[in-house]
A and B are shown apart, each in its own frame.
Chain A
């Protein structure tokens, strides 16, 4: 009886659980959180100026939730892409800071990775108000504002959730910055939600 239970119930059930888990994981990895298509670039420019950024160089704005594990891959993709940029640039990272955040809220692997990129400016985004003002809702969302070109890139740098490999968005990110003729491109973002109201 037990042998039949194992053969015809337990083993198929376990196999089915495995398959279901794999499918779920694959689905989770492949499904983007959001696509920001309504970014007001003038607000972005104002923001750059407001936070003390140089509006004469290409500015990369990186919004992230410090605790999001998927955004680590986005930060590393950014870190890997920066040496490939052939125009001056500055990076301003906005770290989502909730109201009752602990003191070490920002001390995460994502922040560490970003701080290794130069030049970069890390700004606390209290309650995600800045990101919210720009319509940014997903951690890992990257905006690129080029002088005189305006916004040239909006979206995530990874092709899958937590995926560090060279993907189309990262390639486009580099092309968009290096090639002045590249139009604005928008990509899906894979990461945690910045807005608590989402």
Chain B
């Protein structure tokens, strides 16, 4: 924007503001005139009268309505078009109409005409001469019309001449003639003022811009200076407070400044070091001469160097020092001074030494553990970055041939071995797939496989490892490879032996089954023998010889047998004899029937035992509904001979709640017969005066318990734990098979066999618990070991 445009804009803006101010003034003037008109009307002509009655004078209404309309019109125009040029002309016209109305209402009083001149003076506030022209034209027209046609209204008198209005207009023109130039002058001055202000503002803007630029530059310089100062302060702080010893020397190596760290490390104060050669503080007699030489050469030639050396403090203490010598040169390249930074690295050196020793120990351990440890990258061609030396024992190749020295070498695919290269071809696919799968799942892997070593020997190895995250880099795999060839061979030998053992066990099992059969059948055969003996005795004692004697008498008295019977004494005894013979034979027949029944039952039992033993291998038995009364009767009957012979009292107690149950009858009989037989043997051995075998049957919610107790010799506590073991017996003629097979039978039918005894001479009780619910069956299976070993007896 150029200067002229700026000036014009400023003038327009300020003149607009000025006009708005005058507009507000004129609006207030309009409002004031309206109020004054009303007040004048109320003062001069408040009422009009009709006799004694009055009403508001029309002048009051006129002042309110006409004056209000004129002022309202003007004010509204000012508000609607505040910045328009025609607004000023409307105001001029309205103000002149106010003058005309007031002149008319005052009856043309000459004093009222001054309102016109006052209005013109006020309108000149616009500094717009055209406004005055509009006002002049307006009042001129008014005076012309009223002066010619209604002179009393404007002049107050009847005009003597019709051009009197010209006189009034002339006076108005007189005033306007002065006001117009004045307006123009004021406007020119106003414009000139704006021009000067514009120039001043431009100048001020230019100066401000220059000041801003300079200020900005100063601020930047100040910031830079502050930044540099801060850096310098920080550097000074670092140099002053760092743990390192910092020394500044001149070009000849003489110390010019040293920090507190120097004193702390060397033991020499800054005052002691000032002016002395820095080299004097950087070596001792233990320092390697070549290092001292290197430092000396560096100072001599103005070169830098980094060295680690042994030095002594002021107090003679030996320490390790890392020193850095940096030459400082001028812009032209001339040596100016040296900065020497020393760092006490004794601790690090000690740690390095410890670390080296630890590494040596670790390597020794690795090398002596019978397995190869490795670490390799996941995706770098299976090459290892570490491999322990035991790999040579496994593969025949030294560990160095498996290890890439660094990552770049692994990337460059320099030919190195991998332990996976030795996998037996038949195992290769399986091993790689297993390892790959495990690594993809980020899990551990463990696999045994064969390798072909350097000498073409096939060896078994066991490799295990896991994937390790490597800080967002290529993951690592840590693993071990163990030679398990001997173990595999031993396992193979073991398997062979196991197979042989299985064969032997099978034969032993067959023998055990045979023994069981023989034992159980033998038990029953005793009863069979007893029954057979009884039958034989019955047959031997049969009165058939007596029948032969009767038959002889009949043959003897064949001709007159009836007379013999009737007349002779002997003959009369025959009928009685026959009757007794019949009774005797009938009794013997009943006994034989009973014995035959028992014999048949025992033979059935033998058949069942054989059948069960035959089905033992199939682990199944005959399951049927059983009444505990029948079971006890059969078991007792099987031992009937012994019971009778030893006059043993059988005490049978069966709870009413014991239900009919479902189980393998012959296994239960086998168990109960064994238990009753053992009880009888115990009673026989003890010789107690009233040997009693007590058989009971009770029932709980889960179990049905069949028990056989005696008051015989009892069982010592130390033997209770072994009574169910195969081959263990307390009887002189026993084989240690009965209780063992009974416990096994109990287990096979889901039951538990347990033994109790309070000690020697206190008798013993055995309980067969049979499950009455499925839960009990499961529990019995869980207590398999207990039921076999009889430990339940101690609980």
Contacts and interface: CB of A to CB of B under 8 A. Distances in A.
B158 interface: yes
Contacts of A197: 51
Contact of B69 (A17, A29, A167): A17
B175 interface: no
A67 B54 contact: yes
B239 interface: no
A162 interface: yes
Contacts of A96: 51-52
B59 A192 contact: no
B730 interface: no
A112 B54 CA distance: 21
A10 B156 CA distance: 34
Interface in A29-82: 29, 65, 67-70, 73
B655 to A, nearest CB: 110
A107 interface: no
A24 interface: yes
A196 interface: yes
A180 interface: no
Nearest to B58: A28
Interface string A17-31: 110111011101100
Given A15-B73, A159-B158, A165 B49 contact: no
Q: Give the dominant DSSP class at B's interface.
A: helix
Interface residues of A, number: 47
A128 to B, nearest CB: 7
Interface stretch (A83-91, A98-106, A114-122, A143-151): A98-106
B152 A26 contact: no
B193 interface: no
B107 A192 contact: no
Contact of A18 (B44, B45, B70, B152): B70
Given A193-B50, A196-B50, A18 B66 contact: yes
A159 B152 contact: yes
A160 interface: yes
A196 B66 contact: no
B108 interface: yes
Interface in B42-63: 44-54, 57-59, 61-62
Interface stretch (B97-105, B403-411, B606-614): B97-105
Contacts of B156: 163-166
B90 to A, nearest CB: 10
B210 to A, nearest CB: 47
Interface in A1-27: 3, 6-7, 10-11, 14-18, 20-22, 24-26
Given A21-B66, A25-B58, A198 B73 contact: no
A168 to B, nearest CB: 6
A6 B80 CA distance: 8
Interface string B591-625: 00000000000000000000000000000000000
B267 interface: no
Given A25-B104, A69-B47, A10 B157 contact: no
B564 interface: no
Residue of B57, B77, B101, B157 with most chain A CB atoms under a 10 A cut-off: B157
A137 to B, nearest CB: 10
Contacts of B744: none
Contact of A193 (B46, B51, B153, B158): B51
A176 interface: no
Contact of B80 (A7, A70, A139): A7
B76 interface: yes
A26 B100 CA distance: 12
B519 interface: no
Interface string A165-198: 1111000000000000000000000001111111
A14 B73 contact: yes
B72 interface: yes
11 contacts: A17-B66, A17-B68, A18-B69, A20-B65, A21-B61, A25-B62, A25-B105, A26-B153, A68-B49, A167-B152, A198-B50
Given A10-B76, A14-B70, A96-B51, 8 more contacts: A11-B77, A18-B73, A24-B62, A26-B150, A28-B58, A67-B47, A163-B152, A165-B152
Interface of A: 3, 6-7, 10-11, 14-18, 20-22, 24-26, 28-29, 65, 67-70, 73, 96, 98-101, 128, 139, 159-160, 162-168, 192-198
